[in-house]
Amino acid sequence: MLHIFPHHSDHHLTARACVVRPIEYTTATKDEVYLNLVLEYIPETVYKVARYYAKNKQTIPINFIRLYMYQLFRSLAYIHSLGICHRDIKPQNLLLDPETAVLKLCDFGSAKQLLHGEPNVSYICSRYYRAPELIFGAINYTTKIDVWSAGCVLAELLLGQPIFPGDSGVDQLVEIIKVLGTPTREQIKEMNPNYTEFKFPQIKSHPWQKVFRARTPPDAIALVSRLLEYTPGSRITPIQACAHPFFNELREGNRTLPNGREFPPLFNFTEQGMYLYAF
């Protein structure tokens, strides 16, 4: 978070980045190891909203899912352009203002600036949202683990429940295999070149159309399929996700929320920002 702070004290930059805004921070005294952050207040989370709909046996309206996910991908595009991997993307860490539909990414307690050749811990990220390379013990992963987690969030909002609800690391992998099928030897090598155990039952992938309800928009399913790929390099980037047809309805001019408010600013990219997001 401190790495983001110098870039992120400007309110307008914060709005474009879709990341929670630090207002102030204090360092610890000589005998303490604490960092105290004062952040902007945002009242809800995507998790609470999703739980509300689930309790009423409903799913979040698709246009709200579009709004939330687009802003999540904008936030990931921003932090990834700084070389920062969040490493704990989940609905609980997506703050939400229900009046304005503004979403902000929060909780950078697990975040790290990934450096080439520097190993990282593999036991990271909340279980339901852990990328398969982490389950396979990879220590040289990339920001694509956040992309996988975002795919899990999107699938969960569409389904009304987690797509891979494993009770342990092994069970998590089993849940993934039920949908994606058994990874090939080449895919496992791409996830973790040092992994040597290849004895898995051969299970065919489950068609994505059968994973979701019949009324789920095909472009939403198509986006999920581009995010939840075994091979990290095959997953699309956050800025590519922003350009996906699933979000086309957000680009249709003067859209308003059910309460009459205008949509939050979604396309206020700067030329410099677009250049950074491209790499």
3-state secondary structure the chain: CCCCHHHHCCHHHHHHHCECCEEEEEECCCCCCCEEEEECCCCEEHHHHHHHHHHCCCCCCHHHHHHHHHHHHHHHHHHHHCCEECCCCCHHHEEEECCCCEEEECCCCCCEECCCCCCCCCCCCCHHHCCHHHHCCCCCCCCHHHHHHHHHHHHHHHHCCCCCCCCCHHHHHHHHHHHHCCCCHHHHHHHCCCCCCCCCCCCCCCCHHHHCCCCCCHHHHHHHHHHCCCCHHHCCCHHHHHCCHHHHHHHCCCCECCCCCECCCCCCCCHHHHHHHCC
pLDDT computed for residue 32 by the predictor: 72
- Could you tell me if residue 183 is inside a domain? yes
The answer, yes or no, to whether residue 9 has pLDDT greater than 50, is no
- Could you tell me if residue 230 is inside a domain? yes
Whole-number Cα distances in Å, 85 to 104, 110, 111, 143, 146: 16, 9, 6, 5, 7
pLDDT computed for residue 2 by the predictor: 47
The answer, yes or no, to whether residue 57 has pLDDT greater than 50, is yes
Q: Looking at the DSSP assignment, which residues form a beta bridge with residue 112? A: 85
Whole-number Cα distances in Å, 215 to 13, 211, 221, 244, 266: 37, 12, 11, 19, 26
Domain hosting 112: range is 43-277
- Could you tell me if residue 76 is inside a domain? yes
pLDDT band per the 50, 70, 90 thresholds, residue 13: very low
pLDDT computed for residue 12 by the predictor: 45
**Contact in structure between 100 and 138 (CB atoms under 8 Å):** no
State mean pLDDT over 124-130: 92
Q: Which of 184, 177, 86, 195 is nearest to 138 (CA)?
A: 195
- Could you tell me if residue 71 is inside a domain? yes
pLDDT computed for residue 41 by the predictor: 84
Q: What is the rounded average pLDDT for all residues in the chain?
A: 88
State the CATH number of the domain containing residue 268. 1.10.510.10
- Could you tell me if residue 34 is inside a domain? no
Main-chain dihedrals φ then ψ at residue 14, nearest 5 degrees: -60, -45
Q: How do residues 141-198 score in pLDDT, each as one tens digit? A: 999 999 999 999 999 999 999 999 999 888 999 999 999 999 999 999 999 999 888 7
Q: Looking at the DSSP assignment, which residues form a beta bridge with residue 103? A: 96
pLDDT band per the 50, 70, 90 thresholds, residue 10: very low
> Model pTM greater than 0.85?
yes
**Domains of the chain: total:** 1
- Could you tell me if residue 35 is inside a domain? no
Report percent pLDDT > 90 for the chain.
Answer: 68
- Could you tell me if residue 136 is inside a domain? yes
pLDDT computed for residue 16 by the predictor: 54
pLDDT computed for residue 103 by the predictor: 96
The answer, yes or no, to whether residue 278 has pLDDT greater than 80, is no
The answer, yes or no, to whether residue 243 has pLDDT greater than 90, is yes
pLDDT computed for residue 269 by the predictor: 73
Unique residue bearing structure tokens 């472009």: 219
Find all residues with CB under 8 Å of 253, minimum gap 6, and list them. Answer: none
Q: Is 31 a catalytic residue?
A: no
State mean pLDDT over 198-218: 92
- Could you tell me if residue 127 is inside a domain? yes
Per the residue annotation, which of 10, 88, 146, 219 is the catalytic one? 88
State mean pLDDT over 109-132: 91
Task: Give the angle 211-143-243 at the CA atoms, nearest 5°.
Answer: 60
